[in-house]
Chain A
Amino acid sequence: MAVELIKERKAVAMTGNQAIAEAMRQINYDVAAAYPISPQTELMGFFAEYLANGLVDTEFITVESEHSAMSAVIGAAAAGARAMTATAAQGLLYMYENLPIASNWRLPITMVLVNRALSAPLNIHCDHGDAMTARDSGWIQLFTENSQEAYHSLIMAVKIAESALLPAIVNMEGYIVSHTIGNVNLLTDAEVREFIGESDWRKNVPHPLLDTDNPVTYGATALPDYYTELKYPQHLATFEAKEHVKRVLEEFNRLAGTNYQVIEPYKLDDADFAIVVMGSTAGVARTAADQLREKGIKAGVLKIRLFRPFPYEEIAEALKHIKAVAVLDRHDSMNGLASPLYQDIASALYHLPERPMLHDFIYGLGGREVTVEDMLKAFNRLINIYTGRETRDRFTEYLQVRE
């Protein structure tokens, strides 16, 4: 039995990695499998300490690669275990071929992705390049702004994954959140364990491999005559997952006194101009919006918490009255069109009778610092394009590149 350590709620100064390790301890996963990669290494190190001190019951498999980590948690989850892994950047890419398998098999695995820029050039700092490669893998994805949200999100993700029967990624920005100390309000161990419910291998998945009285096969072939029929339920489940996420966020808000929504509008109701953003930049963008409002410019911010499934209806509703919107993408898809968040926002708005003007800024690559000035620059450029004071060659631009 896992030890009960935190019996009263308390606020602790913690880095994101410490907060996630704390959540992992409280969740007391049946199985964790991971391979070290910066900035995730430290996180699994903190967890290994809890394990070595006998505070958790988790079977921690120190695998030989990320490919094996994902394979191990797929096997564990199919057996009926509550399983997790954590990785970053190239580590996720090495897992990649297994990601769509976990989602099609409907395995409620949770993954902490400590966002790091993709090579090349080699860089260990934050951008969303890794998360973006997984955007079409069938995994639920939550983005977080700080260690508090990362801690809460992993607890919520367990419940979301198990009720939607889909694997879920919690994105936590490398270094900016993972290695930066912030104030984290911890729930008690009992509260977390009651919220997620006890792990029961008979119930975590509909057909656990451990149920040897009812043997099943995972991973059978489906040829052209059946492949479509085995994709369609997953297609529906991905749409339905949004309602599971909303319900779990509401339950969590009741427990923790938070106000988490799938998207978080900031001063958008009367706004003329807005920035759409994910992750820690949301805070900087809100400060910029406040400064503009002091000058009489009605600026607002939309933070996306739930990235997959994409809450397009809520986003269209939140942005439909805005004059011009700048989408901030912490990744360049190198596709000759625009970055992923921009494309998603454009799709979400397309069916509106009247839609805002859109512009895409690629920013914060490889851990480039993001300042309030950067956000003001984005707002100014957006407003100048909208009012015709400036022109644009393309609707996607780098915000911070040196000439």
Chain B
Amino acid sequence: MKLKGWKELPIGGIVIEPGNSREVETGTWRIARPVVDPQKCTDCLICWVFCPDDSIPSNGKVRFETELYHCKGCGICAVECPYKAIEMVQEADVIMEELKLTSK
């Protein structure tokens, strides 16, 4: 996200566009990410209810892929999933994995 300069901000630090917290990339705070095992997931949507960051999108029937721009990696979804379908994977491991792939 491109950061705004002081001239672009409203006087007094007032928020004039409702809901602009969506723009804040809280995904950078994450040290572990939730990875869903599609074999175990029953689309019960318990994780959708519990995610404090609205990072689990759904159409009311299906659990879509986690939205990593906002997911802070709190791990609540992994704890609450009744089917143990979510594993928290360390971001460092994800990066190591990606490095291995690119160096091949």
For chain A, which range describes its interface: under 10, 10 to 19, 20 to 34, or 35 or more residues?
Answer: 20 to 34
Contact A217 B14, CB 8 Å, known A229-B9, A230-B9, A233-B9: yes
For chain B, which range describes its interface: under 10, 10 to 19, 20 to 34, or 35 or more residues?
Answer: 10 to 19
Contact A207 B12, CB 8 Å, known A232-B6, A233-B6: yes
Contacts of B101 in A (CB 8 A): none
Contact of B5 with A165 in the complex, beta carbons under 8 Å: no
Contact of A217 with B15 in the complex, beta carbons under 8 Å: yes
B11 interface residue (CB < 8 Å to A): yes
Contacts of B99 in A (CB 8 A): none
Contacts of B11 in A (CB 8 A): 106, 165, 206-207, 233
B38 interface residue (CB < 8 Å to A): no
Contacts of A220 in B (CB 8 A): 13-15
Contact of A229 with B12 in the complex, beta carbons under 8 Å: no
Contacts of A228 in B (CB 8 A): 6
**Chain A's interface: helix, strand, loop or mixed, by majority?**
loop
Q: A220 — nearest CB in chain B belongs to which residue?
A: B15
Contact of B4 with A216 in the complex, beta carbons under 8 Å: no
User: Roughly how many angstroms separate A105 CA and B10 CA in the complex, as a whole number?
Assistant: 10
User: Roughly how many angstroms separate A105 CA and B9 CA in the complex, as a whole number?
Assistant: 12
User: Roughly how many angstroms separate A229 CA and B12 CA in the complex, as a whole number?
Assistant: 11
Q: A102 — nearest CB in chain B belongs to which residue?
A: B12
Q: 8 Å CB contacts to B: which residues of A197-219? A: 205-207, 214-218
Listed residue (B9, B13, B15) with the most chain A CB atoms within 10 angstroms of its CB? B13
Contact A216 B3, CB 8 Å, known A106-B11, A230-B9: no
A40 interface residue (CB < 8 Å to B): no
A222-265 vs B, Cβ < 8 Å mask (1 yes, 0 no)? 10011011101100000000000000000000000000000000
Could you tell me which A residues sit within 8 Å of B by CB distance? 104-107, 165, 205-207, 214-218, 220, 222, 225-226, 228-230, 232-233
Could you tell me which B residues sit within 8 Å of A by CB distance? 3-6, 9-16, 18
The 9 closest A-B pairs by CB, nearest first: A217-B15, A230-B13, A229-B6, A105-B12, A106-B12, A232-B6, A220-B15, A207-B14, A216-B14
